[in-house]
């Protein structure tokens, strides 16, 4: 029974392949021991367009589960899609609640002091930070698909809002207008997030690469930590700028008359305590609760110490009054018109995208650890809805917090009910004990934020990026430098710009490779990767590793001709036989446009002048269909298009194949 070895090294029973193909309507004919390239049935314009739309926006085929179901079940299934709690809530048990209760209480002890600190980072009253850990988690628990993510304000988004909004309105002289702008930005952050999910445009956030996020987060962490020097050192008059030069000038400018030694003592002591607690929790996973409750313990002890010593009378800055009560409505405070509408939309869109990126990355990380799937589009709709509702209930932008989610995961959460428990604890705090935070020193909040953001500096990932891809590292470094030396928005802009530049570089300058034959096989591989691969006398084999579009078609043609020139010069020096055939391996070429076909036509003409024949190997279904539509197959000849490189070599250099 005849067998043939494919380019991938697989042995194929040709009789079986022949019998199988007889049952299909395929435009292919037998050629020797192999087959010519098949041409798929031509699709109509509408079919091509609908397939493209489906793959772009509905790759997961979300409607497949609704097929052949009665209307009542479709409605119920649709409600479950919007509110996943209706699905997992049916199987909820007391055992799961025990895990969620412990996790919820643990993350509540972490979130309360963090929320107060993050609200100051956003230049908002401390109660607004607590509001943002009450309403949004409740909405997410009903609509979110992640079991582990913990919702609330986060450092990076708080810094982003605080930096961008204070450029428009001074939070000290116009606190109400500033708060209104913050609610407006939150509203549009939610609209942006929900719209991306509803219209299934989540792929847009993928333009912010992992490397860019690593650099951006590290830069933001350093910027946030530097901003906390105001509270840590007790400086009253501090710069509003966030770049490292301005901050350090402000710090050293106040060294003789602006620093307060009592504040520094409190801040340094408790920062050391928090870092030790974090180290203990990291070293022993069973003691995760030590680092989780350390911030709340710090707040309680420092508040008591300041109260009994009246350190606030000696220059120690304190939180003062936190408004008691749960979230008041704020719909009437949102700017739906006027000059601040555009600003709110711009800032909200940026904050919404950053919040989405962080939340989805966190959700996917913990979903992988527990081996379940989250729906990115559902997550966007859930996050967007909670921020829209939050903007109407005196909250600012909330998203998934990595530190809280990690604690939530390690505390043994089972479902999103842990967010509900956390929200109830925050509600009770707002109703009952906010006056107790009056004497909490700002230095403690600064210490809590500094210890929290240090975890955002992922130097191990940065080093790995450097080792793997230098262009990726450039995006990482650009984002980092942009954030610390300019501002958060410029750092983000640099990160996106470098990531897009990398994509354009890869598209316009695709890789090509010279192929050779692996000894005693019919496999052809890159001669740089496989030094043992030998070139075929009289034949040059080149592989193009990208789609051929108008952006790179001329480069591909010129690069192939350069391979040819280099090979001809080398053969002249070594007095080898002249090249008679150029085989272009098209396996990686997933698509080609009219510019690409025109480039192949020009390549064909250039080769004809040198009396070299052009041969194509293994063009894909889209490529061969377009080549036929453009009549390039008639121009080159059907006998010059082969299924594999080995088939082409067997036809034009049979002596090489005979020696295999």
Range 512-652 has CATH code 3.30.750.24: yes
pLDDT digit string, tens, across residues 12-67: 444 434 443 433 333 443 444 557 777 777 777 677 767 767 766 666 667 677 67
pLDDT digit string, tens, across residues 106-136: 999 999 999 999 999 999 999 999 999 999 9
| Average pLDDT for 568-592 | 87
Give, in order, the Cα–Cα distances in Å from 512 to each of 496, 542, 544, 599, 615. Answer: 27, 7, 5, 15, 16
Return the beta strands (E) in 365-471 as ranges.
399-401
- Candidate ranges 24-38, 76-90, 413-427; pick with highest mean pLDDT: 413-427
Beta carbons of 539 and 655 less than 8 angstroms apart = no
Q: What is the C-alpha separation between 148 and 366, in angstroms, rounded?
A: 7
| Average pLDDT for 157-179 | 93
Helix (H) or strand (E) holding 3: strand 3-5
Q: Per-domain residue ranges for the chain?
A: 95-319+327-500, 512-652
Phi, psi dihedral angles at 574 (to 5 degrees): -95, 0
Report the chain's mean pLDDT, rounded to a whole number. 87
Q: Which structure tokens are listed for 238?
A: 């501090």
Q: What is the C-alpha separation between 107 and 137, in angstroms, rounded?
A: 12
3-state secondary structure of 128: helix
**Distance, C-alpha 585 to centroid of its chain:** 33
Q: What is the C-alpha separation between 14 and 405, in angstroms, rounded?
A: 56
pLDDT band at 655 (very low <50, low <70, confident <90, very high): low
The more confident residue out of 169 and 575 is 169
Helices 288-309 and 94-121: angle between axes, nearest 10 degrees: 50
What integer pLDDT is reported at residue 357 of this predicted model? 87
Give, in order, the Cα–Cα distances in Å from 148 to each of 107, 151, 285, 374, 418. Answer: 11, 10, 17, 11, 8
| Average pLDDT for 583-606 | 95
Residue found under tokens 């250039």 = 606
Q: What is the C-alpha separation between 221 and 480, in angstroms, rounded?
A: 10
Of 422, 383, 325, nearest to 186 by C-alpha is 383
Contacts 24+ apart (CB under 8 A), 297-302: 298/113, 298/270, 298/273, 298/274, 298/444, 298/447, 298/448, 299/112, 299/113, 299/437, 299/440, 299/444, 299/448, 301/270, 302/266, 302/270, 302/440, 302/441, 302/443, 302/444
Q: What is the C-alpha separation between 270 and 451, in angstroms, rounded?
A: 10
pLDDT digit string, tens, across residues 229-258: 989 998 878 887 888 998 898 888 888 777
Contacts 24+ apart (CB under 8 A), 166-174: 166/123, 166/240, 168/340, 168/343, 169/340, 171/123, 171/124
pLDDT digit string, tens, across residues 402-418: 889 989 998 889 999 99
Q: What is the C-alpha separation between 481 and 244, in angstroms, rounded?
A: 10
What integer pLDDT is reported at residue 32 of this predicted model? 44
pLDDT band at 614 (very low <50, low <70, confident <90, very high): very high
What integer pLDDT is reported at residue 656 of this predicted model? 53
What integer pLDDT is reported at residue 27 of this predicted model? 41
What integer pLDDT is reported at residue 4 of this predicted model? 41
Give, in order, the Cα–Cα distances in Å from 76 to each of 58, 91, 207, 230, 379. Answer: 21, 16, 35, 54, 19
């Amino acid at each position: 029974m005849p067998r043939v070895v494919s380019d991938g090294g697989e042995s194929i029973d040709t009789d079986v392949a022949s019998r199988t193909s007889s049952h299909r309507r395929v435009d292919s004919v037998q050629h020797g021991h192999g087959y010519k390239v098949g041409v798929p049935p031509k699709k109509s314009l509408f079919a091509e367009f609908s397939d493209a739309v489906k793959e772009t926006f509905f790759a997961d085929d979300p409607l497949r589960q609704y097929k052949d179901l009665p209307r009542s079940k479709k409605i119920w299934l649709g409600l479950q899609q919007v509110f996943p709690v209706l699905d997992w809530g049916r199987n909820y048990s007391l055992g799961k609640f025990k895990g969620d209760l412990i996790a919820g209480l643990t993350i509540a002890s972490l979130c309360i002091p963090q929320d107060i600190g993050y609200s100051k980072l956003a230049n908002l009253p401390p109660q607004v930070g607590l509001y943002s850990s009450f309403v949004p988690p409740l909405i997410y628990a009903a609509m979110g698909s992640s079991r582990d993510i913990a919702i609330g304000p986060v450092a990076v988004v708080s810094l982003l809002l605080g930096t961008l909004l204070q450029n428009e309105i001074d939070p000290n002289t116009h606190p109400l207008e500033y708060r209104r702008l913050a609610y407006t930005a939150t509203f549009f952050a939610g609209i942006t997030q929900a719209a991306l999910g509803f219209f299934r445009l989540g792929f847009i956030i993928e333009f912010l690469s992992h490397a860019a996020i690593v650099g951006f987060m590290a830069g933001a962490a350093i910027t946030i930590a530097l901003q906390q020097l105001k509270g840590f050192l007790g400086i009253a008059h501090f710069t509003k700028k966030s770049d490292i030069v301005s901050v350090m000038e402000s710090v050293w400018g106040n060294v003789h008359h602006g620093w307060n030694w009592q504040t520094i003592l409190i801040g340094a002591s408790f920062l050391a305590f928090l870092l030790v607690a974090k180290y203990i929790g990291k070293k022993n996973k069973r003691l995760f609760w030590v680092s989780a409750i350390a911030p709340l313990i710090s707040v309680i002890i420092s508040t008591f110490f300041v109260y009994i010593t009246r350190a606030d009378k000696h220059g120690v800055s304190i939180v003062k009054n936190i408004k008691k009560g749960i979230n008041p409505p704020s719909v009437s405070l949102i700017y739906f018109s006027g000059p601040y509408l555009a600003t709110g939309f711009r800032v909200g869109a940026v904050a919404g995208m950053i919040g989405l990126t962080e939340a989805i990355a966190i959700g996917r990380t913990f979903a992988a650890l527990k081996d379940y799937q989250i729906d990115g589009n559902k997550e966007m709709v859930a996050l967007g809805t909670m921020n829209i509702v939050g903007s109407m209930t005196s909250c600012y932008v909330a998203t998934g917090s990595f530190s809280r989610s990690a604690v939530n995961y390690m505390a043994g959460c089972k479902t999103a009910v842990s967010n509900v428990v956390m929200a109830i604890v925050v509600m009770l705090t707002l109703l009952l004990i906010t006056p107790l935070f009056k004497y909490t020193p700002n230095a403690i909040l600064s210490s809590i934020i500094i210890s929290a953001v240090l975890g955002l500096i992922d130097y191990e990932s940065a080093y790995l990026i450097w080792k793997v891809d230098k262009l990726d590292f450039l995006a990482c470094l650009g984002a980092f430098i942009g954030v610390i030396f300019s501002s958060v928005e410029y750092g983000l802009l640099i990160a996106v710009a470098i990531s897009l530049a990398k994509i354009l570089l890869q598209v316009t300058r695709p890789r090509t490779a010279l192929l050779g034959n692996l000894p005693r096989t019919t496999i052809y591989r890159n001669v740089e990767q496989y030094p043992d691969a030998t070139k075929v006398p009289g034949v040059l084999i080149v592989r193009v590793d990208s789609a051929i579009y108008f952006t790179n078609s001329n480069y591909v043609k010129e690069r192939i001709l350069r391979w040819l020139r280099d090979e001809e010069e080398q053969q002249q020096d070594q007095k080898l036989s002249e090249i008679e055939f150029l085989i272009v391996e098209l396996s990686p070429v997933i698509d080609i446009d009219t510019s690409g076909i025109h480039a192949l036509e020009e390549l064909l003409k250039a080769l004809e002048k040198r009396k070299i024949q052009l041969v194509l190997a293994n063009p894909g279904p889209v490529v061969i269909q377009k080549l036929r539509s453009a009549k390039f197959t008639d121009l080159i000849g059907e006998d010059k298009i082969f299924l594999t490189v080995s088939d082409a070599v067997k036809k034009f250099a049979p002596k090489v194949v005979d020696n295999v």
